[in-house]
Structure 1
């Protein structure tokens, strides 16, 4: 089905975006193109930190964004932020300006995690890196000036999927607690884009993020893991039957996004499990729409800011 007429005119440039074939041979070039459009750690507006005493294989890099020094004497809320990139590329610096501005706007500390990437580091390595970073954030809360009762997990795309998986892992391990979960067009279901997908929507996935790219990235994350055991929901959160015990949640997704169905289904499952859940579907926009100027971008970013405020006030 041709869905061009459904696209919001503010985002017409998506019609000119070429479609890429995602393969292991092509991945280094795709990573290079993304890196070329991102800041380096040296250029970041955040502070570089590591979970270990020194940088290394057993230490996760983080980028910390703070509000103006005027708020240094206050106990601040915090966001553990997980970047997108299909689990196979990217870094916190991809959204450096957004995170720095959000920290100032909301008077919050943001700890963005540079988790290790697939296929070199398949499941569960990226998720465990995020769990390590959450533990570090909580252990360092006094030094960082954070209110431990106001920690929210947030992510875009693959980072949104990791945020959901991390919230589930926190529930399972009973070691930490978080106040909220913010997912922007989260990557939740390893079946999406394949014949095994629970549903097929002909109006989604024709622009920006397409089925072939999605399946390639999930296969990279999966590696040798066979998602048939009782913990498969930590790999693919859409497989979770019961979401009881998760924190208050926000989900935002575009009406043309390949992830529309899985995002809506997960939000409904949260509601059925008794979790306070907020869902926004932004009409006429595909995946990654909020990385570009437009009316729906302004609306989404405003909705996220309001939702975060509610989570911290709860």
Structure 2
């Protein structure tokens, strides 16, 4: 496994410096891009060190540098702290193209669960703030909609959310993240991407989810809305799969799922034209 370099990145939003772990493949292609990876954990737990097999695998598969951001966690640091940390890490990565030897026009985002939700939010945030430019987003069972599992949940699917990440878990994670966010906040898409009124001019998305995952319905709905807004989407649904099932790497379904995610990231961040 590729060993990371740890560095501290300055915040562009007035916050503290942000730890970023950089994974460099042995033979990076200078015509390729780079990947900003955002780990999962329901907005309230997790770390790069705990989940470093993910960014290491991305770097090896895509042959490009991968920066994994150690964003601040809720409830100690609620919205918009995690989003601002991710945006600062993206800005830093974009500025390292010459130093690290990659094509700055081919930076993509990748994240799983809460990290997938933050990646989707970051794509909206970067568009709204005028950059940095993002070439693609790889969203693995992303946590997108704060309403899921609550009284105002728009999805009524009794077969999802029974394992690993439940409705109660989801309510806890979103309440912890909320901070000073209010329903009339103009930054609604930065908080809960499913609330974004405008999904146009976002980068192409690869979305992978399981049919028994609590996030299944919100993932499908988000994919449909992206398509309606003119955004290219490659959606993959895995029958019988629960949340984070691919943590059992030797299972045949996990291998197919993980292989698809890595192939999508390699295609998006790899050299233009293959």
Q: TM-score range by the shorter chain?
A: over 0.9
Alignment of 1:184-199 (within 5 A): 184-199=140-155
Is the contact between residue 43 and residue 177 of structure 2 (CA under 8 Å) also seen in structure 1? yes
Q: Which residue of 1 aligns with 2:48?
A: 92
Query: Whose helix proportion is higher, 1 or 2?
Result: 1
Q: Which residue of 2 aligns with 1:19?
A: none
Secondary structure of the 1:153 match is strand
Q: Which residue of 2 aligns with 1:311?
A: 268
- What stretches of structure 2 of length at least 5 have no aligned partner? none
Is the contact between residue 61 and residue 266 of structure 2 (CA under 8 Å) also seen in structure 1? no
Is the contact between residue 76 and residue 109 of structure 1 (CA under 8 Å) also seen in structure 2? no
Is the contact between residue 207 and residue 236 of structure 2 (CA under 8 Å) also seen in structure 1? yes
From 21, 35, 41, give the equivalent of 1:79.
Answer: 35
From 198, 205, 213, give the equivalent of 1:249.
Answer: 205
Q: Which has the larger radius of gyration?
A: 1
State how far apart, in whole Å, the 1-side matches of 2:20 and 2:31 are. Answer: 20
Q: Does residue 1:66 correspond to 2:28, yes or no?
A: no
Secondary structure of the 2:50 match is helix
Q: Which residue of 1 aligns with 2:254?
A: 297
Secondary structure of the 2:266 match is helix
Secondary structure of the 1:45 match is coil
| Higher RCO (CA < 8 A, seq sep 6+) | 2
In the TM superposition, what is the alpha-carbon distance from 1:110 to its structure 2 partner?
A: 0.6
Q: Which residue of 2 aligns with 1:17?
A: none
State how far apart, in whole Å, the 2-side matches of 1:239 and 1:52 are. Answer: 29
Q: What TM-score, normalized to structure 1?
A: 0.81
Q: What TM-score, normalized to structure 2?
A: 0.93
State how far apart, in whole Å, the 2-side matches of 1:100 and 1:222 are. Answer: 31
Which deviations, in whole Å up to 9, do the C-alpha atoms of 1:155-210 show, x marking residues without a partner?
00000000000000011011321100110000000010111001110110011110
State how far apart, in whole Å, the 1-side matches of 2:136 and 2:79 are. Answer: 24
From 179, 182, 190, give the equivalent of 1:226.
Answer: 182
From 234, 253, 273, give the equivalent of 1:278.
Answer: 234
How many pairs does the alignment contain? 268
Q: Does residue 1:113 correspond to 2:61, yes or no?
A: no
State how far apart, in whole Å, the 2-side matches of 1:276 and 1:44 are. Answer: 31
Moved over 4 A (4+): none
State how far apart, in whole Å, the 1-side matches of 2:201 and 2:127 are. Answer: 6
- What stretches of structure 1 of length at least 5 have no aligned partner? 1-42
Is the contact between residue 30 and residue 103 of structure 2 (CA under 8 Å) also seen in structure 1? no
State how far apart, in whole Å, the 1-side matches of 2:51 and 2:92 are. Answer: 22
Which deviations, in whole Å up to 9, do the C-alpha atoms of 1:98-153 show, x marking residues without a partner?
32233122211110000001101000010000000000001122111121011001
Secondary structure of the 1:146 match is coil
Is the contact between residue 227 and residue 235 of structure 1 (CA under 8 Å) also seen in structure 2? no
Alignment of 1:1-314 (within 5 A): 45-52=3-10, 58-68=16-26, 70-71=27-28, 74-293=30-249, 294-312=251-269, 313=272
Q: Alignment RMSD, CA only?
A: 1.9
